[in-house]
Structure 1
Amino acid sequence: MTNFEAPDPGLPVSGTGSSTIAPTDTSAGDGYDAAMDAAMNAPTAYARARAVEQLERIAISRATETSPASDSAPPAFEPPVTALAYDLATPMGLEPMSEVQTGEVRAALFSEGVPREFVAQGYSNLAHLERSGALASDESFEEACRQCRTSVEKTYGAEAQALIRDGIAFLEALAKKHPVLDAAATAALADPFLLSNAANLQRQRRGRL
């Protein structure tokens, strides 16, 4: 099992789809357009990862030259300025990812504007699910999902069913668009934190937050 989507209106960041992050001026001659083209048309995962690294370096450079973004959005839903901000150090209980796979995961998360806090806590929670045996079989996974929904219902009451639907919609779309996140997005259905926060990201995507 590996890892984990949310958007923000603006530019496409990788060749995996049209999801976006906060708008950035691409008129500067800093190589952004060329790197973007390379990422979108990379013939191999390695080439795409290298192109994404170049985009990250440009993003970091631009971030130091521009004023901070507006703080009108809740901090927990702000995407990072670079994919390198995602801490993907392997928690105990999970198999370590290869360098190429780590790059693909970071690129997928960054292209969707997934908040760093969501990834950090979620990665730890996925490791806990693995260690607990919740992902060991279809039966144990189904039971973990049932317990997850029960927990969400106790916490959110009448709002729970709508929240569960939105969370599932977000995670299913994430897995479909980014196969590298499929296992993590599926496992997230068994974790109350991931499911409820996935619903928030889905609602943000629809402009309801």
Structure 2
Amino acid sequence: MRSSIWATLCLLLFSSMVWAHSTSKDSFHIGILLYDGAQTIDYAGPYEVFGQANYRLTTVSEDGGTITSAMGLKVTPDTSFDQDNQFDAVIIPGGSINEAMESLEVLQWIKEQSKQAQYVLSVCNGAFILANTGLLDSKKATTIRGAFDSFEKNFSDVELVKNKKFVDNGKFITTAGLSSGIDGALYLVSKVDTIEKAKSVAAKIEYLWVPEGAISGG
């Protein structure tokens, strides 16, 4: 009897979850930048959100080779900069950013993708990479709290917002640190589709999402 109840519960749970992102060419297509030192939660959190939203997902690095995340996790991207991909949205994770932030290839790829992408989303100190392209000049942005001073010093043309988990400039969206990437990804779902769909995804992943992006006590 107990085994039967457990099997029924598992069936109900599994039937309500999305286990793979869309592969349809008609689906909203998101490119996730990967590089050595990328923070795992910065790309994995949004990846889960967008997969649950049934968007098409492609991970991409400069040469398409395996990258090693900040926590030592090795990931093999789906494609490289050389491939002719044009994404509806681009995600830029943070982490150990120094090499990526100074890479002319990375910066040029972001600038080229942003010409046709509807949205560009940075996570955590990935805002430094995005800001170094010049695309955030005269716009508002946020990043991880511990990097506020450095960001203001290096990017004086960008207005830093310190009390939000995500900041929306229309095309360009930046988020605060680490798990804030999940908040920003859910917000992007609400822009691409509806607030109701974003709330549904948040419920599926059991995440307490504040659509306004406010930081508790901020």
Name the TM-score, length of structure 2 as normaliser: 0.32
Normalised to the residue count of structure 1, the TM-score between the two structures is 0.33
**Normalized per residue, which structure has more helix?**
1
Higher strand share: 2
